[in-house]
Structure 1
Amino acid sequence: MKDNFSKQAAQYSKFRPQYPDEMIDYLVSFVKNKGVTLDIATGNGQVAHKLSQVFETVYGIDISQNQLDNAIPKVNIIYKVAAAENTLFKDQEFDLIMVAQAVHWFDFDLFYKEIYRILKPEGIFAILGYGLFSTNSDSDKILRNFYHNIIGQYWDAERKYLDENYKTIPFPFNEIVTDPFENKLTWTFEELIGYLETWSATQHYISKNDSNPLDLIRDDLKISWQKSDKKVTFPLLLRIGKLK
C-alpha cells in the first residue's frame, strides 16, 4: 500500500469532500448486525465518524500516523496504524468492512485474503469512492486540461481504477446490485483550490519541479469560478458484496 497523503494530512482533512449521509445509510442498511465495523485506510476518519453513530464499535486503520493525528475523535472509534493487507485483527471479527477512496492502492491478492479472514460469514464488504468531479463548462475545460495534461504524467498508475469508476478492480465477492449516488456541493474558490492541492499528482508535481502546478491555472480558474454558480458534482462509486 502506498502512502501519498501523510504530507498533506491536515489539508486532506479540511478539503476532501464528505460522503453524503444517504449513501452511508444505504450501505449500512445491508448490514444485519451493527456490532463491530472496520474502516480501512480511514484517513481523516470521516467515514468512521459516520459509522460510529450506528455501530457499537468502529475501528479505523491507516498506514499514516499523521493522518490519524488529524482524524475525528469519538469514544467508540479506535484508531490504529496498520496496513490493509495485514490488519492484525482476529478471524471473523467484523460485521462490516469498508474502504473509501483507497482500494486502488492495495495489493489486491493480499488484501482480499485478509478480508476473507477477518469478515464474519454473514458480514458485508464495501468499497466507496468518487471520480473526477464536474462543474460549469468553462471551469471544466481548465480543470480537465490540468488533470490530463499539466499533471497527467504525475498520477500513479493505480489512478486508472478510479477513472474506470472502480468497475475494473478485482472483486471476489457475491456482489449486491446498488443504487447510484452523486455528491452535489457548493464550493468557494479556496475550497476548490484546497481540494486540488490534496491530489497526489499535484503533490508529485510539486516534489519533482519545486513549483505548484496550480499556479499555471489559478488566475484563469479564479475568473471562471467567480462567474459561475460554484457548484460541483462528484460521481460516487459503490460496490457491496458478501463472502462467496
Structure 2
Amino acid sequence: MKDRFSDKASGYAAFRPKYPETLFNHLYTHTKAFDAAWDAGTGNGQVAAVLAGKFNRVYATDISIKQLMKVPNMANLSSFVADEAAPQISDASIDLITVAQAIHWFQVDKFCDEVSRVAKPGALLATWGYGLIQLPSAYQPAVDRFYSKVVGPYWDPERKHIDNSYADISIPFKELKPSEHFEMTYKWNAESLEGYLNTWSSVGNYVKEKGENPVPRLISELTSKGLPAAFEVMFPLFTRLFRV
C-alpha cells in the first residue's frame, strides 16, 4: 500500500471534511450488533472516533504512524499500524468494517480475505468516498482545470477509482442496494480551501517533482475572480455497503 499522507498528517486532521451524522446513522440501521468495529485506513481516526461513541470496542488501523498519532485518545478505541490485514483482531469478532476514502489504495483481494476472517456472520462492510470539491459556479471551472490539467498528471493511478465512485472495485460480498444520497456541505474561506487542497496527494507529487506548490496560484486566481470571504463548498459522497 502506498503511503501518500504521512507528511500531511497535520493538514489532513485540520482540513479534510468530516462525514455527516446521517451517514453513520444509515450504517447503524444495517448493523446487527455493536460490540466491535474496525476502521481500516483510518488516517487521523475521524471515523473511528465517531464509531467509538456507538460500539463497545473500535480498532483503527493505518500504515502511517504519523497519521495514527492524530487519532483521538479514547478508552474504547485501539489504534495500531497495519495494512490491509490486521492480525491483532480476533477471528469472527467484528460487527462493522469501515473504509473511508481509502479502499482505492488497498490490495482489495487481501483486504476482503481479512474481512472474511474478522467479520461475524452477517457483519456489514461499508466503504465510501467523496468526489471533487464543488464551489459556487463562478469559481468551479478554475478548480476543474486545476484538478484535471495542473495536478491531473500527478494523481496516482488509483485516483480513477474515486472518479468512478468505486464502481469498478470488485468486492466479493452481497451488495446492499443504495437507499440514500449523501453530501457534505460547509461554509469555508480561502484559508480552509487552500489547506484542503494542500492535502491532495497530487499536489504533494507535483511539489516533489517541480519544487513549487501550485495551490497559491489557484487561490490567487479565485480571489481575483471575486471569491468572497465565506463561500459554500460541497463534496458529493458515494457509498457501497456489503453483507459479509
Unaligned 5+ segments in structure 2 are none
| Greater alpha carbon shift after TM alignment, 146-155 vs 136-145 | 136-145
Structure 1 residue 228: Cα displacement: 7.7
* Residues 95 and 198 of structure 1: CA distance in aligned 2, closer, same or farther (over 3 Å): same
Q: For the aligned residues, what is the CA RMSD?
A: 1.3
Give the TM-score, by structure 2 length: 0.96
Name the structure 1 match of 2:18: 18
Secondary structure at the aligned position of 1:220 is classed as helix
- Measured against aligned partners, the alpha-carbon deviations of 1:118-154 in whole angstroms (never above 9, x if no partner) come to 1111211110211112111221111011000000000
8 Å contact kept, 2:133–2:233: yes
Name the structure 2 match of 1:162: 162
Secondary structure at the aligned position of 1:137 is classed as coil
Name the structure 2 match of 1:105: 105
Structure 2 Cα separation of the partners of residues 218 and 196 of structure 1: 10
8 Å contact kept, 2:185–2:232: yes
Please tell me the residue identity of whatever aligns with 1:7: D
Structure 1 residue 225: Cα displacement: 5.8
Name the structure 2 match of 1:76: 76
Please tell me the residue identity of whatever aligns with 1:12: Y
8 Å contact kept, 1:151–1:201: yes
Unaligned 5+ segments in structure 1 are none
Please tell me the residue identity of whatever aligns with 1:98: T
| Greater alpha carbon shift after TM alignment, 210-219 vs 140-149 | 210-219
Secondary structure at the aligned position of 2:129 is classed as strand
Name the structure 1 match of 2:227: 226
Name the structure 1 match of 2:9: 9
1:113-128 alignment runs, 5 A limit: 113-128=113-128
Structure 2 Cα separation of the partners of residues 99 and 34 of structure 1: 17
- Measured against aligned partners, the alpha-carbon deviations of 1:182-208 in whole angstroms (never above 9, x if no partner) come to 111111111101000000000000111
Structure 1 residue 88: Cα displacement: 3.8
- Measured against aligned partners, the alpha-carbon deviations of 1:44-96 in whole angstroms (never above 9, x if no partner) come to 11101111111011110011000011122211111111111354422112011
Give the TM-score, by structure 1 length: 0.96
Name the structure 1 match of 2:213: 212
8 Å contact kept, 2:190–2:229: no
Please tell me the residue identity of whatever aligns with 1:160: K
8 Å contact kept, 2:52–2:58: yes
* Residues 49 and 224 of structure 1: CA distance in aligned 2, closer, same or farther (over 3 Å): farther
Name the structure 1 match of 2:133: 133
* Residues 77 and 230 of structure 1: CA distance in aligned 2, closer, same or farther (over 3 Å): same
Kindly tell me the number of residue pairs found equivalent between the two proteins.
Answer: 243
Structure 1 residue 226: Cα displacement: 2.8
Structure 1 residue 222: Cα displacement: 2.3
8 Å contact kept, 1:189–1:225: no
Name the structure 1 match of 2:59: 59
Structure 2 Cα separation of the partners of residues 200 and 229 of structure 1: 26
Name the structure 2 match of 1:30: 30
